[in-house]
């Protein structure tokens, strides 16, 4: 179990993500955020437990479900919101959108909409750290659906062969888009898929953010010391549909009591309250603060104009400075 | 100081010189220096020169990651078709990341491969598929046709801050030519006039440049003075040079080893039709491969490919002199 | 069917096929010296892999199918494809197996179950998986053999296909012919399992299917192992990954050079790249073809005279194949645009 300070920081981080995501759902519904968005409700524990231990110069590669990773890694919330709204003050000046959140100042190096496309990139990035002899670490987030893609295997083989300082973090929510994992593969646990490469790996409950924190922390120390790769599989529950607008006719809704057991925020709050680290009012304050920050982010986004075509055209190619 | 060396040596010289100049340049791929005695390994060590497995998606995707993290990788892909396995990384990731990040990142990398090996390598190894890459914003595509350009474009590709598809031609690897010894750079996006002329413009790529020059020789004896232009890069494409030539000659023949709708010829033809219509005194003519998978057997293979006879024939047609040489 | 149930005639048949493959491949190689310019492009020989090929194909029944890599000559030879047509194809002639369209890397004989090849490493694996899918739908008890090399196991297509085949219990047997090299690179340089001294069959675990390693230079061991896998597939229990360890006795392929440079077969990469002549000579001493002959003669299955007679017939068959190829006309150039579309 984590210390009090850490627990409160993790709760704060998770509430920020939760409130942000819930607001994005509403904004999407009212068409103020458009296109394809994929929410992290239910997996905040993994984003927080992993990213809050990283430095700005450590690299994170994520995929289409990246809002939580971005916020936990330190991307300013108002700039993330502006990006989702397609505004020039957004992280990527409105050119990337929800699935392509990049914030190099905070080490958020790449996010791709193509499942698993980020895996080999993260390996290359880890190789760079190795070549420079740095203790900088690369983390790549991916879902259980990416594990069946050919490039997952290619990347795992190379990372193991070249012993890269790369930490694979798999958020296994048991669903790949609209079908359960059992329709995609016989092998239920991702740690079993990489077993032939025999590097350190473990499975933790993603809703137990303390367990995520501890397990990841050990791998982080190892990677900084030049060891690797590592794989941390976190079982999570994807509360929303695959994307916003998904009717979810393919699965049964969870009972509230069941959800409480799988909700990383509810779980940590229960523990924190039991230990007297927070009380009801403090918890409500956390939520209110998060909501206020989200309100401010929405205003910030709305106030920013979109990029012009001429400005965008200059960004197609890099030219010498 | 120039001396004659083969095309393939010129490519390798550029790689070695760039790796010496900039220690963020790394080189890997299948069968790249498997032996520790290889000169590249001896010069730069096993960190920077590696052999990798047949894992194109990982090899190219890792190049993207290396580039994002401040390195400049060159990936040896051997043959252009092997990039097809990893098309997502080549066309949907590497060239798009800078743009989608709003300019925060850049992806300097070189994807090196050979193409067009129409020497009986049959259907899956002999294609000219460069337009699959040339239409993707964010990617650059270069096709050197001489040893000097092979060196100069490789050096330029390595120094370019964008992903570059560097396609060397397998039929040209042993062609000798003058190559400057020291640093030699050819700007990407600048065409070369291989043979100045006044009567007709022939734009040719890669291996067809040599064919066009042979056609020009034959035509010269008929009193036809052909200007042969080699664009050298397909993206960016030096349309101003081509338009200037067409304005002078009024006639245009385009030679390309790819099949018609996948050729640089059809791209250039459209550009001239739109921006140079007033210069033309006759319709444009394309001389490309026929629409078939390249066959193995030699007479069939030769049949589908462009050659100097077909190019010269096309020139006579656009000049209206075809019937004069029956 | 276990090897104990193999009749003498069947064993002699297996030896004969191994010899036919060896002699065919030798003649291909010799064509580069005897008739320069006749073979163009790139050829890849199966010498050294005969036991693995024949031991595998001996398990098949009518209706079973297979797909292979570009190193494909040995399989149709064993299936009974006309070696004259095969040689003519390699020589680019009109009467070639594929009319001169494909060449050495792209042989096929769908009528005998050989559905084809891919020239791109690993890309035939999903093809075979799909053929097995069709076999499953047809419910006629067919099985598909999928041949590929150790280099292919690093391709994404390997991963994707084996996962699906296992999940859907497809009737396919994946046979990885591990010759320890990917062209000029050792497996240990490019494979994490090999680098750690593990057999490549451990990869099967990631797909929840059985993985087994077998000595690919012993045709009866191969037969036994592949039989088990074939029965499993036929019985609806799904795929198996078999790692068949072989050593190729020629270089990866003939020299790669542009037109004008004579093509030939260089020495094996063990010597030319790694300077390890001893490794190559040890493999020569373990040559599966004479070893199997000696074993059959020693156990009384085959007498020396009959063995010699077989060798003589095989030599004559391949002489005829070469001559047929040389005598065959080239296709009409205009034929190049046929068969683009069905």
- Measured CA to CA, the distance from residue B115 to residue B77 in angstroms comes to 11
Residue pairs between chains A and B whose CB atoms are closer than 8 Å: 150
| From C93, C186, C340, residue closest to B293, measured CB to CB | C340
Query: Of B180, B206, B224, which one is at a domain's C-terminal end?
Result: B180
Q: Can you give the pLDDT at residue B324?
A: 46
Among chain B residues, the shortest Cα distance to A311 is held by: B102
- Where does B52-157 show beta strands of DSSP type E? 72-79, 109-115, 140-142
Residue pairs between chains B and C whose CB atoms are closer than 8 Å: 136
Residue pairs between chains A and C whose CB atoms are closer than 8 Å: 66
- Is the predicted pLDDT of residue A321 greater than 70, yes or no? no
Query: Which tens digit of pLDDT belongs to each residue from C127-138?
Result: 999 899 989 988
Question: Measured between CB atoms, does C126 come within 8 Å of chain B?
Answer: no
Q: Can you give the pLDDT at residue B244?
A: 98
- Measured CA to CA, the distance from residue B57 to residue A262 in angstroms comes to 35
Q: Taking the alpha carbons of B237, B241, B243, B249 in that order, is the dihedral positive or negative?
A: negative
- Of all residues in chain B, the percent with pLDDT exceeding 70 is 98
> DSSP label at B88?
I
Q: Give chain B positions within 8 Å (CB) of C186.
A: 34
Do both B62 and B159 map to the same domain? yes
Question: Measured between CB atoms, does A189 come within 8 Å of chain C?
Answer: no
Q: What CATH number corresponds to the domain at position B14?
A: 3.40.50.970
> DSSP label at C109?
B
Could B53 and C184 be called an inter-chain contact, meaning their C-beta atoms sit closer than 8 Å?
A: no
Return the number of other C-beta atoms located less than 10 Å from residue C297's C-beta.
Answer: 15
Query: Which tens digit of pLDDT belongs to each residue from C251-281?
Result: 999 998 888 888 999 999 999 999 999 999 9
| From B57, B67, B105, residue closest to A104, measured CB to CB | B105
Residue B323 confidence class, pLDDT cut points 50, 70, 90: low
Q: Which residues partner with A143 through β-bridges?
A: A171
Give A186: exposed, middle or buried? Use CB within 10 Å, 0-12, 13-18, 19+. middle
Mean pLDDT score of chain B:
94
Do both B53 and B172 map to the same domain? yes
Interface test with chain A among C129, C153, C155, C192, by most A beta carbons within 10 Å: C192
Mean pLDDT score, A185-190: 93
Do both B199 and B132 map to the same domain? no
CA-based radius of gyration for chain B: 20
More confident position, A246 or B281: B281
Instruction: Give the number of residues written for chain A.
Output: 321
Do both B22 and B165 map to the same domain? yes
Q: Can you give the pLDDT at residue B325?
A: 46
Q: Which region among A74-78, B81-85, C74-78, C244-248 has the lowest average model confidence (pLDDT)?
A: B81-85
Query: Which tens digit of pLDDT belongs to each residue from A190-206?
Result: 999 999 998 999 999 99
Among chain C residues, the shortest Cα distance to B126 is held by: C41
Give how far A246 is from chain B: nearest CA, Å.
Answer: 25
Query: Which tens digit of pLDDT belongs to each residue from A78-110?
Result: 999 999 999 999 999 998 899 999 999 999 998
Q: Can you give the pLDDT at residue A314?
A: 85
Residue B326 confidence class, pLDDT cut points 50, 70, 90: very low
- How do beta strands B226-230 and B285-289 pair? unpaired
Mean pLDDT score, C327-333: 96
Question: Measured between CB atoms, does B53 come within 8 Å of chain C?
Answer: yes
Per DSSP, the three-state class of A118 is: helix
Could A153 and C158 be called an inter-chain contact, meaning their C-beta atoms sit closer than 8 Å?
A: yes
Chain A from 44 to 83: CB within 8 A of any B CB: 59, 61
Mean pLDDT score, A272-292: 95
Per DSSP, the three-state class of B135 is: coil
Among chain C residues, the shortest Cα distance to B169 is held by: C258
What's the per-residue H, E or C state across A224-286? Answer: HCCCCCEEEEEECCCCCCCCCCCCCCCCCCCCHHHHHHHCHHHHHHHHHHHCCCCCHHHHHHH
Could A109 and B105 be called an inter-chain contact, meaning their C-beta atoms sit closer than 8 Å?
A: yes
Could B100 and A124 be called an inter-chain contact, meaning their C-beta atoms sit closer than 8 Å?
A: no
Q: Which secondary structure element, helix H or strand E, spans residue C47, and what is its range?
A: none
Give how far C12 is from chain B: nearest CA, Å.
Answer: 36
- Measured CA to CA, the distance from residue A1 to residue A3 in angstroms comes to 7
Among chain C residues, the shortest Cα distance to A229 is held by: C192
- Is the predicted pLDDT of residue B97 greater than 70, yes or no? yes
Query: Which positions of B are catalytic?
Result: 125
Query: Which tens digit of pLDDT belongs to each residue from B265-290?
Result: 999 999 999 999 999 999 999 999 99
- Measured CA to CA, the distance from residue B117 to residue C257 in angstroms comes to 10
- Is the predicted pLDDT of residue A27 greater than 90, yes or no? yes
- Is the predicted pLDDT of residue C295 greater than 90, yes or no? yes
Q: Can you give the pLDDT at residue C4?
A: 80
Mean pLDDT score of chain A:
93
> DSSP label at A103?
B
Q: Can you give the pLDDT at residue C13?
A: 98
Do both B119 and B228 map to the same domain? no
Chain C from 8 to 67: CB within 8 A of any B CB: 39-42
Question: Residue B263 domain-assigned?
Answer: yes
More confident position, A311 or B20: B20
Question: Residue B187 domain-assigned?
Answer: no
Could A96 and B61 be called an inter-chain contact, meaning their C-beta atoms sit closer than 8 Å?
A: no
Domain span at residue B146 reads 2-180
Residue C1 confidence class, pLDDT cut points 50, 70, 90: low
Among chain A residues, the shortest Cα distance to C209 is held by: A186
- Is the predicted pLDDT of residue A252 greater than 80, yes or no? no
**C neighbour chains, 3+ CB pairs within 8 Å:** A, B
| From A104, A154, A162, residue closest to B55, measured CB to CB | A154
Interface test with chain C among A176, A187, A200, by most C beta carbons within 10 Å: A187
- Of all residues in chain C, the percent with pLDDT exceeding 70 is 99
Do both B45 and B91 map to the same domain? yes
Q: What CATH number corresponds to the domain at position A276?
A: 3.40.50.970
Mean pLDDT score, C57-62: 97
**Residue A138: is the preceding peptide bond cis (ω within 30°)?**
no
| From C163, C192, C208, residue closest to A160, measured CB to CB | C192
Domain span at residue A256 reads 4-302
Per domain, the residue ranges of chain C are: 3-248+257-325
CATH number of C3-248+257-325: 3.40.50.970
| Gap between the terminal Cα atoms of chain A | 49
Q: What CATH number corresponds to the domain at position B260?
A: 3.40.50.920
Q: Which residues partner with B203 through β-bridges?
A: B229, B254
Number of domains in chain B: 2
Chain A from 267 to 306: CB within 8 A of any B CB: none
| Assigned token pair, B87 | 């098309």
Mean pLDDT score, C92-120: 93
Query: Of B180, B205, B231, which one is at a domain's C-terminal end?
Result: B180
Question: Residue B220 domain-assigned?
Answer: yes
**B neighbour chains, 3+ CB pairs within 8 Å:** A, C
- How do beta strands A179-180 and A175-176 pair? antiparallel
Return the number of other C-beta atoms located less than 10 Å from residue B320's C-beta.
Answer: 11
- Please enumerate in sequence order all residues whose Cβ is within 8 A of that of C297, keeping only pairs 6 or more positions apart, or say none: C303, C304, C307
| From B53, B102, B162, residue closest to A92, measured CB to CB | B102
Do both B166 and B36 map to the same domain? yes
| Assigned token pair, A169 | 């973090």
Number of domains in chain A: 1
Among chain A residues, the shortest Cα distance to B92 is held by: A114
Give B81: exposed, middle or buried? Use CB within 10 Å, 0-12, 13-18, 19+. buried
Question: Model ipTM?
Answer: 0.75
Do both B26 and B165 map to the same domain? yes
Could C184 and B34 be called an inter-chain contact, meaning their C-beta atoms sit closer than 8 Å?
A: yes
B291-295, long-range: CB < 8 A, 24+ apart: B291/B259, B291/B260, B291/C337, B291/C340, B292/B259, B292/C336, B292/C337, B292/C340, B293/B123, B293/C340, B294/B118, B294/B122, B294/B123, B294/B126, B294/B127, B295/B122, B295/B123, B295/C100, B295/C101, B295/C336
Question: Residue A156 domain-assigned?
Answer: yes
Q: Can you give the pLDDT at residue A176?
A: 80
- Please enumerate in sequence order all residues whose Cβ is within 8 A of that of A73, keeping only pairs 6 or more positions apart, or say none: A51, A54, A60, A103, A106, A107, A108
Query: Of B134, B152, B180, which one is at a domain's C-terminal end?
Result: B180
- Is the predicted pLDDT of residue C161 greater than 50, yes or no? yes
């Amino acid at each position: 179990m984590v210390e009090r300070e850490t627990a409160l920081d993790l709760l704060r981080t998770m509430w920020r993500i939760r409130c942000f995501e819930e607001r994005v759902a509403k904004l999407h519904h009212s068409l103020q955020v458009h296109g394809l968005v994929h929410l992290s409700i239910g997996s905040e524990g993994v984003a927080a437990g992993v990213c809050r231990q990283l430095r700005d110069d450590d690299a994170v590669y994520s995929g289409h479900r990246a809002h939580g990773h971005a916020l936990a890694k330190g991307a300013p919330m108002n700039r993330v919101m502006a990006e989702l709204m397609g505004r020039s003050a957004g992280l990527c000046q409105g050119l990337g959108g929800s699935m392509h959140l990049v914030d190099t100042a905070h080490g958020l190096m790449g996010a791709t909409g193509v499942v698993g496309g980020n895996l080999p990139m993260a390996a290359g990035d880890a190789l760079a750290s190795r070549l420079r002899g740095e203790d900088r670490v690369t983390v790549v987030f991916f879902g259980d659906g990416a594990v069946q893609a050919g490039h997952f295997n290619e990347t795992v083989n190379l990372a193991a062969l070249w012993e890269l300082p790369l930490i694979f973090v798999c958020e296994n929510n048991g669903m790949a888009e609209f079908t359960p994992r059992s329709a995609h593969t016989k092998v239920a646990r991702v740690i079993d898929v990489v077993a032939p490469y025999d590097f350190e790996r473990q499975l933790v409950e993603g809703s137990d953010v303390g367990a995520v924190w501890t397990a990841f922390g050990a791998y982080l120390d190892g990677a900084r010391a030049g060891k690797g790769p590592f794989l941390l599989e976190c079982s999570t529950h994807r509360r929303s549909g695959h994307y916003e607008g998904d009717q979810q006719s393919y699965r049964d809704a969870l009972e509230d009591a069941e959800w409480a057991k799988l909700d990383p925020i509810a779980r940590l709050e229960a523990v924190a309250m039991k230990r007297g680290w927070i009380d009801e009012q403090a918890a409500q304050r956390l939520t209110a603060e998060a909501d206020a920050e989200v309100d401010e982010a929405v205003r910030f986004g709305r106030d920013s104009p979109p990029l012009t075509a001429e400005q965008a055209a200059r960004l197609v190619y890099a030219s010498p400075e | 100081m120039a001396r004659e060396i083969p095309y393939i040596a010129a490519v390798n010289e550029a790689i070695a010189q760039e790796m010496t100049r900039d220690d963020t340049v790394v080189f890997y791929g299948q069968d790249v220096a498997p032996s520790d005695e290889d000169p590249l390994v001896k010069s730069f060590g096993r960190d920077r020169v590696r052999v990798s497995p047949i894992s194109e998606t990982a090899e190219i995707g890792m190049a993207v990651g290396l580039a994002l993290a401040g390195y400049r990788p060159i990936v040896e892909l051997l043959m252009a078709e092997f990039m097809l396995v990893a098309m997502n990384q080549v066309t949907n990731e590497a060239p798009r990341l800078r743009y989608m990040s709003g300019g925060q990142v850049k992806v300097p990398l070189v994807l090196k491969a050979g193409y067009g090996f129409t020497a009986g390598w049959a259907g899956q190894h002999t294609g000219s598929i460069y337009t699959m890459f040339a239409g993707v914003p964010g990617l650059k595509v270069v096709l050197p046709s001489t040893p000097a350009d092979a060196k100069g474009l490789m050096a330029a590709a390595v120094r370019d801050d964008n992903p570059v598809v560097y396609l060397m031609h397998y039929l040209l690897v042993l062609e000798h030519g003058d190559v400057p010894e020291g640093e030699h750079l050819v700007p990407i996006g600048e065409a070369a006039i291989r043979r100045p002329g006044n009567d007709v413009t022939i734009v040719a790529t890669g291996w067809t440049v040599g064919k066009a020059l042979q056609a020009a020789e034959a035509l010269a004896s008929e009193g036809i003075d052909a200007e042969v232009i080699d664009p050298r890069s397909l993206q960016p494409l030096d349309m101003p040079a081509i338009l200037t030539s067409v304005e002078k000659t009024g006639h245009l023949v385009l030679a390309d080893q790819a099949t018609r709708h996948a050729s640089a010829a059809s791209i250039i033809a459209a550009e001239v039709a739109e921006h140079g219509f007033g210069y033309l005194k006759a319709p444009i003519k394309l001389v490309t491969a026929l629409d078939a998978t390249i066959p193995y057997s030699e007479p069939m293979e030769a049949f589908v490919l462009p050659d100097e006879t077909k190019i010269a024939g096309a020139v006579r047609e656009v000049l209206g002199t075809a019937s004069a040489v029956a | 069917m276990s090897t104990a149930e193999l009749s003498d005639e069947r064993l002699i048949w297996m030896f004969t096929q191994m010899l036919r493959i060896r002699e065919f491949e030798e003649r291909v190689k010799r064509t580069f010296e005897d008739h320069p310019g006749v073979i163009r492009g790139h050829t890849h020989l199966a010498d050294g892999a005969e036991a693995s090929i024949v031991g595998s194909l001996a398990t098949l029944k009518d209706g079973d199918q297979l797909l292979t890599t570009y190193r494909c000559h040995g399989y149709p030879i064993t299936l009974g494809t006309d070696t004259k047509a095969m040689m003519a194809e390699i020589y680019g002639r009109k009467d070639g197996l594929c009319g001169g369209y494909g060449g050495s890397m792209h042989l096929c004989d769908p009528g005998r179950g050989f559905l084809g090849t891919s020239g791109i490493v690993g890309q035939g694996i999903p093809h075979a998986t799909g053929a097995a899918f069709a076999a499953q739908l047809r419910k006629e008890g067919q099985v598909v053999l999928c041949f590929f090399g150790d280099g292919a196991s690093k391709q994404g297509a390997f991963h994707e296909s084996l996962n699906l085949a296992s999940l859907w219990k497809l009737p396919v047997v994946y046979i990885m012919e591990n010759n320890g090299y990917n062209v000029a690179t050792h497996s240990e340089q490019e494979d994490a399992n090999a680098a750690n001294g593990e057999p490549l069959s451990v990869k099967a675990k990631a797909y929840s299917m059985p993985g087994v390693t077998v000595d690919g230079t012993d045709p009866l061991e191969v037969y036994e192992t592949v039989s088990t896998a074939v029965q499993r597939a036929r019985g609806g229990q799904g795929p198996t990954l078999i790692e068949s360890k072989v050593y190729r006795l020629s270089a990866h392929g003939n020299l790669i050079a542009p037109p004008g440079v004579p093509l030939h077969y260089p020495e094996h990469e063990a010597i030319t790249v790694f300077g390890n002549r001893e490794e190559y000579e040890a493999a020569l001493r373990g040559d599966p073809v004479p070893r199997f002959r000696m074993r059959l003669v020693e156990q009384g299955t085959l007498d020396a005279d009959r063995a010699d007679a077989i060798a003589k017939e095989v030599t004559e068959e391949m002489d005829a194949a070469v001559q047929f190829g040389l005598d065959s006309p080239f296709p009409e150039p205009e034929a190049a645009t046929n068969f683009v579309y069905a």
